[in-house]
Amino acid sequence: MKQQEDDKAEVEAQQTALNKSIKKDKTLQIELMQSSADLDAKRAELNAKKNKEDAAAQKAAADAKKAADDADKAKTIAAATKAADTAKDSVGNKDQGQQATEPASTQTVQLASNNNNAKRNNSAGSNGGSGSFTPASAASYGSVTAYALSFVDKSPYAWGGTTPAGFDCSGFVQYVFGKKGKSLPRMTTAQENAGTQIPVGQAQAGDLYFWGGRGSSYHVAIALGGGSFVHAPAPGQNVSVGNTHYYTPSFAVRLN
């Protein structure tokens, strides 16, 4: 009888020890799960912080690049404007000197001749011809380039566009010169014939740059002097300033 009681007590003691061990294991398991959850939360917090820092760094880099691009663009436009103004002043002074040395009678005859030519050429331009077009004084080219620059970053490219609401390349050239008294045909290939072809390196403010073969050109821009030009470039872009070092024209034309 005593042996049975001893055995029972031993079994109960073992059961109690086992229960304690199980409880301890469960407690450890819960603690491990809690630690794992805390670790995951900490990891997520660190990742969020890193992503935020990365986004801030990317934004700072993008802002710095935009600021640099804007500065370069402003510098290019300023240089182009200065070149245009210099060309305008230079040609204007030259014209004034020539006018001062010409006899009054010669100037009168010249003016009458120019008026007659303008009437004939305006008629040809309105009929879509590609021969002679209304001559514009070279002294006005400076104002042409300054006017063209006023559309930079404002007017978008639009296929077939001929107004500030949207220009294509030849529509932009025709519009700008038209506002300054120079009638030009609508198409790029016809605009080639509005003047005399010159080497690209000799182009000055107010000349035209063309890309593509003579008679099959596909793009035109207004020279600003110093290798810069202003144009309506391509879909998705606004009127902008470019440079022949990066986009080399095929030939240039000095308008009649």
Q: Are 253 and 172 in contact (CB under 8 A)?
A: no
Instruction: Identify the pLDDT of residue 214.
Output: 95
pTM of the model: 0.52
Instruction: Identify the pLDDT of residue 47.
Output: 83
Task: Please identify every stretch of the chain with a pLDDT value under 50, giving residue numbers as ranges.
Answer: 91-139
Instruction: Identify the pLDDT of residue 80.
Output: 61
Instruction: Identify the pLDDT of residue 141.
Output: 56
- Domains, in order of start, for the chain: 85-255 (3.90.1720.10)
Instruction: Identify the pLDDT of residue 75.
Output: 62
